[in-house]
Amino acid sequence: MDQGLLSSISEAIESRREHVIAVARDLVRLPSVSGQEGPCALYCAKALSRLGLSVAVWEPDPTQLCSHAAYSETGSTYRGRPNVVAVLPGSGHGKSLILNAHTDVVPIGPRDLWHHDPWAADIVDRRLFGRGAADTKGGLAAILQALAVIQTLGIKLRGDLIVQCVVDEERGGNGTLATILRGYKADAAIVVEPWGLDKIMVGHRGSLAFRITVQGEAKSLGEKANSISAVEKMQVVVTALQRLRVQRKERHRDPRWAAYENPVPVLLGTVGGGDWFSSPPLRCTLEGVLGWLPGETLVSVEAEVRSTLRETCQDDPWLSTHPPILEFPTNRTQPCWVDNESPLVHVVQQSISAVRGVVPALTVANAGSDQWLYTVHGATPAVQMGPGGGGAHAPDEYVNIGDIVDCTKILALAAIAWCGSEEEL
Ligand SMILES: [Zn+2]
């Protein structure tokens, strides 16, 4: 890493440190739970326009997206929830780079479990608290400010630098999918997520959502005790899924995911049945998600869920004749993987090392993100990295302020190294 470049970037970002933090706080104060990304997206659009860039602001069109294999059915439209993409055009003969972060956040959950107002952006002990602070507004602020510093220093990149602030990552990735279908692609992408700056996620596992519905049967009033309870029959399904969890965990030994206790979890997320306390529940529905790894396919994983369910239910007199309805909603991701020796991984690794003084580990994520959309559907190799914190998808979420500032430096250095620049600094 060029020491002159490193010190120019570091000084420029340290001199605007308070502004970098202020942008992250502004973003946290804009509640952008999936479906309500509008104000946050427009904030990003304004920040990018102020840098003199032409900014595309558009609402993804579900009628265009829905025929794509990677589309996630969310049940909502994109009215007032635009994607925002800005391009800093390169001068030519350089490689292009996408920097991606999502504008949406998950709901706060029970408010009384928070010690900080989830939308106040409190700072305590160099931590910025709030829903989305880590996932992923700290990273979004770092992207916006990395671009600002490249512009302010007058660095002329050779390749295009494309900034994408996308909606709906938390519900499956339709925002990033919409950028791909609009024609955005690059020689590489960095997807900013809150993993901490000691590691680069070169891949992640796949996930498959499922929904299982069990029917019951009501007897007449005098025979109510003989009714078939859908809630009680759901116990059989739960047992089947627990068996599936054990089988899959024992079978999978992919060394790339060796750091994880169970890289193929079967998570039971919601269950609901019945509509009156003294009536037999006639329907009970369970929703969940399971993880899967390279070496499997969506078809093979679906078949395994189906056969496990069938085998378990055949021993039950009711379920063998009234089998549960098994559905796979469209929210699914595929496993993805970028080679550890790829040029993109080297550039990000060197940029992190230059700023943090330690070589980041190369590892894989045990959760989905938009990374796979680039690698599987966007013809763009992608990695994940970003400022660390805690409590993502939980109360008292926070991001480390020092990580936001360092991530800004890392992204600026990585963009210059990857895209190439016209002049020596
Ligand atoms: Zn995220």
pLDDT of the residue at 256:
87
Question: Edge-to-edge strand order for the sheet containing 127-129?
Answer: 123-124, 127-129, 398-400, 389-390
**pLDDT of residue 84 exceeding 50:** yes
Q: How far is the centre of ligand 1, averaged over its atoms, from the C-alpha of 45 (Å)?
A: 19
pLDDT of the residue at 309:
95
Tell me the C-alpha distance between 221 and 278, whole Å: 11
Q: How far is the centre of ligand 1, averaged over its atoms, from the C-alpha of 198 (Å)?
A: 17
Structure tokens at 19: 């502004």
Give the model confidence (pLDDT) of 124-174 as tens digits.
Answer: 999 999 999 999 999 999 999 999 999 999 999 999 999 999 999 998 899
Tell me the C-alpha distance between 218 and 118, whole Å: 45
* Average pLDDT along the chain: 95
Q: How far is the centre of ligand 1, averaged over its atoms, from the C-alpha of 271 (Å)?
A: 25
Give the model confidence (pLDDT) of 246-276 as tens digits.
Answer: 999 998 888 888 888 999 999 999 999 999 9
Residue 187 near residue 96 (C-beta atoms within 8 A): yes
- Cα dihedral 111→115→117→118 (10° resolution): -70
pTM reported for the whole predicted model: 0.91
Q: How far is the centre of ligand 1, averaged over its atoms, from the C-alpha of 359 (Å)?
A: 23
192 exposed, middle or buried (CB, 10 Å; 0-12, 13-18, 19+)?
A: buried
**pLDDT of residue 425 exceeding 70:** no
Give the model confidence (pLDDT) of 390-403 as tens digits.
Answer: 999 999 999 999 99
Q: How far is the centre of ligand 1, averaged over its atoms, from the C-alpha of 340 (Å)?
A: 22
Q: How far is the centre of ligand 1, averaged over its atoms, from the C-alpha of 17 (Å)?
A: 23
Q: How far is the centre of ligand 1, averaged over its atoms, from the C-alpha of 158 (Å)?
A: 30
Region 82-96 average pLDDT: 97
**pLDDT of residue 423 exceeding 70:** no
Q: How far is the centre of ligand 1, averaged over its atoms, from the C-alpha of 420 (Å)?
A: 28
Least trusted range by pLDDT, from 140-144, 291-295, 348-352? 291-295
Tell me the C-alpha distance between 425 and 411, whole Å: 17
Compare 131 and 3 and report the one with higher pLDDT: 131
Could you write out the DSSP letters of every residue in 193-242?
A: -SS-TTEEEEEE-EEEEEEEEEE-BPPPGGGGGGPBPHHHHHHHHHHHHH
Among 158, 166, 161, CA closest to 192: 166
**Protein residues within 5 Å, CB atom, of ion ligand 1:** 135-136, 193
